[in-house]
Structure 1
């Protein structure tokens, strides 16, 4: 860990002598000066890709982004959308948006699009600028999702996020059934080493956690770990408000589950899992998204939450097999091998096919392709 980051964290810990997990993650991932996403050097270190710290669906195969583009195209066709706001949360290097726009540009030349990108990292914004400059669309960038709605026109809005929510900071809590108490996981600094510890929750904090449990605390096992992100909840609520105001739909692709239980946080350093404290400031951190919590927020906003699909089922439903057959017709042996390798990674149960989920929610009057309630 860089000495400057260590000293900054030490100062943040200060008199309390600890940081909760969410605040710790927020510093090491998103701090403007020391955060992981803002300190990767564009020339000396690649963030996303085979040589980087992690690789996402759009980098694995063009099929991924193209089929999301087809989904957007069908959504617009079903609902007669002629002018849209197209938003992506956490666009990475701009690969997904580039693939989506290529499909839309070829298949519906009359569709008018204003692109809005939520990006915290100036480093990644520079990649996106380079990737998207070939398209003749207006592109606006934001660092604050809560300011985005003020820049939107009144056109229908389609929001896409791929592996965005899994990297937002979370807190972890423990329920001790025998003592009927909750604790919060915290980070402490002892002898210049960071370590996990726990802090008893105050009585007024307990209802906030219980509200987000899918099971009654009486049914939980002893020492059950519960993950919750106030940031994710507020982001989803804001997305709901945008859709309610503008009409449209939201598409989330992320690895997740339908409950908040168990410790799912992991550290990834150069495409390999690593110990949580081994490469602070140089590692990416993520956790499984709790889609049950998202469903509760969406339905609380009177929007329609469609049943989750696995990434495999989503891509199959969108015609990935036909697409790969067509691409293979004019491909070399090496190109076909690369296509099949990407296909396998995207849909295989052993890789991304089942752990990654695809979720859609929309206004009740919107006709959504392939998803069912």
Structure 2
């Protein structure tokens, strides 16, 4: 079996040789292959993100960055985007920032060669990084992460049994006759779970994202040491919370997350409470979360939509439909969390 074999075959062989693997390992392998081998965005892909819906999203994010930079006193900054897709958000945000006098060097954290090529076409002067660890030192950093944390690997713990005979187990992926399926693995100590959830009913699932916590902590330590801010926009909840949110999307429809690994986009809801705690633990200030609806509303999406509609009356109906999709269709499921250096001002849309 070589690396040229389909991912499903390689995963099946790994499970046969070493036994069932954690959900996190399965998800990491599947998403690494998925993003390295295709452009998943748009009508011809598997899903559409907010920047691809309308230029308004990226423009408002750019103005959020420029406003914060302006009130911080115009420091030297590097602008970073995590998982920048096709570079659409960056292109729109940088245009808006430039109008406000902010023209920072751009850094992308992206591993996919296909997506890097698309990003280079929209933001030719960018610098690319495989991980957040190689971002520039010695300069304040403003980081944007739109639909980045939801794709990071998660662990799943499942409750079996009831009362004293019950317990929590790591969820693993087994393989039987080329079919992947989740099973309960070895027990895990109850003290690794939040105390209010330890006696949850049988069948309950708790998801944790060590990769997400590590990424947030690394970036927050950088911001605490060098100055700057971060804006995370993603779908999720304020935890801790129970529920199996692991999902797969293919062709703009939900699919079985355990079928065709590497050919579907795997994601899970983001626990914003845990991310905020990781940021605070690293010495920064966490703001929010607020809903995407509140974020975009406070940043002036209604005025921007009206201005675009006036300048392009033939597109007015579609512009207003895009605004509704961002505000209503995605407005409450998607949330925003801001992180700032302790000496930086309160970020727009997150004040009292």
1:113 aligned counterpart, secondary structure? coil
Taking structure 1 as reference, are residues 3 and 94 closer, same or farther at Cα in structure 2, changes over 3 Å only?
same
Paired residue for 2:268? Answer: 287
> Hey, what's the Cα distance between the residues in 1 that align with 2:9 and 2:302?
52
Shift of 1:155: 2.3
> Which segment is superposed worse, 228-237 or 138-147?
138-147
Residue number among 238, 242, 247 corresponding to 2:222 in the alignment? 242
> Hey, what's the Cα distance between the residues in 1 that align with 2:107 and 2:61?
17
Paired residue for 1:43? Answer: none
Shift of 1:324: 1.0
TM-score normalised to structure 2 length:
0.93
> Which segment is superposed worse, 176-185 or 240-249?
176-185
Paired residue for 2:321? Answer: 341
> Which segment is superposed worse, 153-162 or 123-132?
153-162
1:243 aligned counterpart, secondary structure? helix
Taking structure 1 as reference, are residues 272 and 303 closer, same or farther at Cα in structure 2, changes over 3 Å only?
same
> Which segment is superposed worse, 320-329 or 89-98?
320-329
Matches within 5 A, 1:61-76: 61-76=54-69
Shift of 1:4: 2.2
Taking structure 1 as reference, are residues 226 and 202 closer, same or farther at Cα in structure 2, changes over 3 Å only?
closer
Matches within 5 A, 1:153-172: 153-172=137-156
> Hey, what's the Cα distance between the residues in 1 that align with 2:109 and 2:196?
34
Matches within 5 A, 1:96-107: 96-107=89-100
1:262 aligned counterpart, secondary structure? coil
1:267 aligned counterpart, secondary structure? strand
- Runs of at least 5 residues in structure 1 that lack an aligned partner in the other structure: 41-45
Paired residue for 1:226? Answer: 206
- Runs of at least 5 residues in structure 2 that lack an aligned partner in the other structure: none
Shift of 1:3: 5.5
> Hey, what's the Cα distance between the residues in 2 that align with 1:153 and 1:302?
17
- CA displacement 1:205-247 (0-9 Å, x = unmatched): x54x32xx272524x3333210011111111110111101111
Q: Does 1:276 align with 2:257?
A: yes
> Hey, what's the Cα distance between the residues in 1 that align with 2:343 and 2:301?
28
Taking structure 1 as reference, are residues 253 and 202 closer, same or farther at Cα in structure 2, changes over 3 Å only?
closer
Q: Does 1:37 align with 2:35?
A: yes
Which portions of structure 1, spanning 4 or more consecutive aligned residues, are displaced by more than 6 angstroms?
A: none
2:332 aligned counterpart, secondary structure? coil
Q: Does 1:19 align with 2:3?
A: no
> Hey, what's the Cα distance between the residues in 2 that align with 1:141 and 1:74?
25
- CA displacement 1:154-206 (0-9 Å, x = unmatched): 22210100000001111110123422411111111112221111112254xx5
Q: Quick check: 1:48–1:55 contact (8 Å CA) kept in 2?
A: yes
TM-score normalised to structure 1 length:
0.88
Paired residue for 1:307? Answer: 288
Paired residue for 2:336? Answer: 358
The alignment yields a C-alpha RMSD, in angstroms, of 1.7
Q: Quick check: 1:83–1:156 contact (8 Å CA) kept in 2?
A: yes
> Hey, what's the Cα distance between the residues in 2 that align with 1:330 and 1:112?
26
- CA displacement 1:31-76 (0-9 Å, x = unmatched): xxxx011112xxxxx4211221110000000000000011011001
Q: Quick check: 1:81–1:156 contact (8 Å CA) kept in 2?
A: no
Residue number among 240, 254, 277 corresponding to 1:296 in the alignment? 277
How many residue pairs end up in the alignment?
A: 345
Q: Quick check: 1:69–1:99 contact (8 Å CA) kept in 2?
A: yes
> Hey, what's the Cα distance between the residues in 2 that align with 1:54 and 1:266?
13
Paired residue for 1:4? Answer: 6
Shift of 1:7: 2.3
1:201 aligned counterpart, secondary structure? strand
Q: Quick check: 1:84–1:112 contact (8 Å CA) kept in 2?
A: no
